[in-house]
Amino acid sequence: MALAGPPSVLETRHRAPRIRHETVIFYLCIAPWLIGLIAFIAGPMVASAGLSFTRWDMLSPPEWVGLRNYVTMFTEDPDYWQSLRVTVVYSVFSVPLRLSAALFLAILLNEATKGVGIFRTIFYLPSIVASVAAAVLWSWILNPRFGPVNGALRLIGIRGPAWFSDPGYALWGLVLMSGWGVGGEMLIFLAGLKGIPSTLYEAAEIDGAGRWPRFIRVTLPMLSPAIFFNFVMSMIGSFQTFDTAYVISTARAGTIGGPLRSTLFYMLHLYRNAFSWLKMGYASALAWVLFLIILGLTLIALRSSALWVYYEAERGR
C-alpha cells in the first residue's frame, strides 16, 4: 500500500499533526487501564503505605503512630511470628512437593503414547475446582473416623491422625491437599517437555547415555526455565494461601487459623486484623511486610536463576 521511496514534502508536513493525533488516540485507548491503575492499584498502594503508619478502626479518625505498627508486629504480637512460621513451613514443604509431583506427572504423560488426553484431564481437573469446594471435599476425605484415608490406614493397622482437628497434623493435611491441585504446573512442564528438540536426546543416546543421564543432562537443563517459572509462581502463591486454610479452620476448629493457631497463615492473620478487628492500620503494615517478603524472595530467585536456569538464546555466549 505505502509506496517505496522518500516521503514527499506534502507527507512530511502532515506528519506532525498525524503523530499528535495518534498519541491522543493511544491515550484514549489505554485510558480505562490508566484510570484503573490510579483507582485500584497506585492509589491504594500509596494509601496503604500511609495507613500502615496509623492506628485506624474506620470509626474514629486515623491516628498517626509512626513505626508503632511495625514495632508491634516484631515484638509484641505473638500471632505474627506464629503466622509467619506457619506460612514458611507450609511453603517449604508444599512448593517442592508440588513441583516434583507436577514434573513427574508431566514426564509420565510425555512418555505415554495412547490415552494421554484422558490422563491429562484427570490430573488437570482438580486444579480448576474451586478452592472452597476442594477444602470441603478434603475435610471429608481426611475425616478421622469416616474418611477413606484413615480407613485405608486402619486396614494396614495404623491409627490415622485426626488431621484438621489435630494441631500437630492440620498443616500437613493442607500440604497433602496442595499436592492434588498441581494441574497448572503440570501443563507448563508438559509444554516445556514438548519443546525439547528430539535431536538432543538422539545425540545423547549415540554417546551412550542411559535414561537417567539423559534426564539429568538434557531434560532438566532444557526444562530449567519452566522449573524456574513454576517455582516463583508457586512460592508467591503459597505465601498468599488463604481460601483453603480459612474454610477448613473455621469449619473444623471454629476459629480462623485453628486448631490452636496451627493453620494461622499470614493472610489469615492479616484478614482477621483488618476485617474482624478493624485494625486497618496494623493490617496495612502486615500487608506491606508480606509484599516485601515476597519481593525479596522473588529477587533472590531471579538472582540465583543465572546460576541454574539455562536459556537457549544464551548458548552462543
Partner 1 sequence: MSGNPLANALSRGLWSWTRSRRIEKLVHDVVVYALLVGLGALFAFPFFWMISSALKAEYQIFVWPPQWIPNPVMWSNFAEALANPLLPFHLFFRNTMIIEVAVLTGRLISCTVVAYGFARLTAPGKNFWFAILLATLMLPKPVVMIPKFILFNELGWVNTFLPLTVPAWFGEAYAIFLMRQFFMSVPVDLEEAAHVDGASTLQTIRYVIVPLSIPVLTVIAILSFKDNWNDFMEPLIYLNNARLYTLAVGLAFFNGQYDVRMNLLMAASVVVMLPLVILFFFAQRAFVEGITLTGLKG
Residues 230-289 that bind partner 1 (CB under 8 A): 233-234, 236-237, 239-240, 242-243, 246-247, 250-251, 267, 270-271, 274-275, 280, 283-284, 286-288
Question: Smaller CB distance to partner 1: residue 86 or 286?
Answer: 286
Tell me the torsion sign for CA atoms 49, 55, 60, 61: negative
Select the residue interacting with partner 1 from 4, 10, 59, 128 (CB under 8 A): 128
Nearest in space to 303 (alpha carbons), one of 232, 245, 199, 198: 232
Phi and psi at 69, nearest 5°, equal -60, -40
Select the residue interacting with partner 1 from 174, 176, 235, 290 (CB under 8 A): 290
Distance of alpha carbon 81 from alpha carbon 73, whole angstroms? 8
Tell me the residue ranges of DSSP E strands in 61-180: 63-64
144 near partner 1, rule: CB under 8 A: no
Cell numbers placing 290 = 508480606
Cell numbers placing 130 = 474451586
Question: Smaller CB distance to partner 1: residue 116 or 220?
Answer: 116
Residues 228, 306 contacting (CB under 8 angstroms) = no
Q: What residues contact 148, with CB distance under 8 A and at least 6 apart?
A: 141
229 near partner 1, rule: CB under 8 A: yes
Shortest Cβ distance from residue 136 to partner 1 (Å)? Answer: 5
DSSP 56: -
191 near partner 1, rule: CB under 8 A: yes
Phi and psi at 8, nearest 5°, equal -75, 165
- Per CB under 8 A, which of residues 20..59 are in contact with partner 1? 22-23, 25-30, 32-37, 39-41, 43-45, 47-48, 51, 58
- Per CB under 8 A, which of residues 86..125 are in contact with partner 1? 105, 108-109, 111-113, 115, 118-125
* Binding segment toward partner 1, per CB under 8 A, in 78-86, 128-136, 164-172, 200-208: 128-136
Distance from the first to the final alpha carbon of the chain:
41
Report H helices in 216-279: 220-239, 243-252, 266-271
161 near partner 1, rule: CB under 8 A: no
Question: Smaller CB distance to partner 1: residue 7 or 316?
Answer: 7
Distance of alpha carbon 204 from alpha carbon 6, whole angstroms? 54
Distance of alpha carbon 223 from alpha carbon 106, whole angstroms? 11
183 near partner 1, rule: CB under 8 A: yes
* Binding segment toward partner 1, per CB under 8 A, in 85-93, 140-148, 164-172, 214-222: 140-148
Question: Smaller CB distance to partner 1: residue 35 or 203?
Answer: 35
Select the residue interacting with partner 1 from 106, 187, 223, 256 (CB under 8 A): 187
Shortest Cβ distance from residue 289 to partner 1 (Å)? Answer: 10
Shortest Cβ distance from residue 306 to partner 1 (Å)? Answer: 19
Total of chain residues touching partner 1, rule CB under 8 A: 98
Q: What residues contact 218, with CB distance under 8 A and at least 6 apart?
A: 196, 200, 201, 204
The CA distances from residue 271 to 210, 262, 276, in Å, are 52, 16, 7
Question: Smaller CB distance to partner 1: residue 176 or 316?
Answer: 176
Shortest Cβ distance from residue 265 to partner 1 (Å)? Answer: 12
